[in-house]
Amino acid sequence: MSIHLVIIDALNLIRRVHSAQPDPNDIARTITTTTRTLNKIITESQPTHIIAVFDHHLQERGWRADILPEYKQNRKPMPEPLMKGLESIQDAWWKLGIDSLLSEGDEADDLVATLAMKVASHNEKVTIISTDKGYCQLLSPTLQIRDYFQHRWLDEPFIDKEFGVKPNQLADYWGLAGVSSSQVPGVPGVGPKAAKEILNQFNDIEQAYASDELPTKYRKKLDEHIESARKCKLVSALKTDIELGFNLQDLRFNGANEA
């Protein structure tokens, strides 16, 4: 039997639904809206297996902040009503037949990436439901990313139009250009246009740094800031080798659970 694993980037979905609501204290409405959304996702995607992956809300900024102290330093804390309502949301999702996986020492992104790559590497179909373009570095013939809110696929043509590089160059792209929303600085003086130009000429940061053909306008910048570029690439990349502690059979979708 062919497999289709759907992975829900849970807080990505919940935060967007919650922020659009007129009353931030109305968790019942968040539950109703996210449940309706997930029912549509299930109907559209017809998963054989499904899981919702959550960042642990008590977790610090993780291993990335050890490498880059400013990483996500200014991110807004989760609204208190939403934090208090997470368990109720998870219970509602469980009734739909969707279990929840909470990260501990790793960010949810890395758990999603590890699980997705493990299944996709066996030529089975995986769909990640998220607006997070960071997942696009994982794209493969059997792994796709769905931005549910914009009703679009974050696929190779999208990446080419948005960034002008290949999916497997995205960590290098962010290593050079940075990610302002996560306080990842990249290389000073190298913006999106320059990062694209460099990576259209070279496969990655290391090849560009080692080459005598690197344009002079970028040579000094890279010579002075190569360590920053390396660190920023490292925190932009996703871990795909986390010990998961469960197998695919545990994620089988059998329809709604009894209340």
Q: Does 176 carry a binding-site annotation?
A: yes
Q: How far apart are CA 7 and CA 243, in angstroms?
A: 17
Burial degree of 182 (CB within 10 A; 0-12, 13-18, 19+): buried
- The CA distance from 10 to 31, in Å, is 12
Residue 177 annotated as lining a ligand binding site: yes
Helix, strand, coil abundance in the chain, percent, nearest 5: 50, 10, 35
Euclidean distance between the first and final Cα of the chain, in Å? 29
Closest CA to 10 of 143, 106, 133, 101: 101
To the nearest 10°, the Cα dihedral for 206, 219, 159, 9? 60
Cross-strand bridge partners of residue 128: 7, 145
Q: Binding residue per annotation — 22?
A: no
Is residue 190 marked as binding? yes
C-alpha span between 193 and 177 (Å, rounded): 9
Instruction: Say how far apart CA 220 and CA 226 lie, in whole Å.
Output: 10
Amino acid letter for position 253: F
* DSSP string across 138-164: G-BTTEEEEETTTTEE--HHHHHHHTS
Q: Is 53 annotated as a binding residue?
A: no
Find out whether 109 is annotated in a ligand binding site.
yes
Residue 118 token pair: 């493990």
Binding site members: 109, 176-177, 185, 187, 190
Binding site members for Mg(2+): 109
Which residues are known binding-site members for K(+)? 176-177, 185, 187, 190
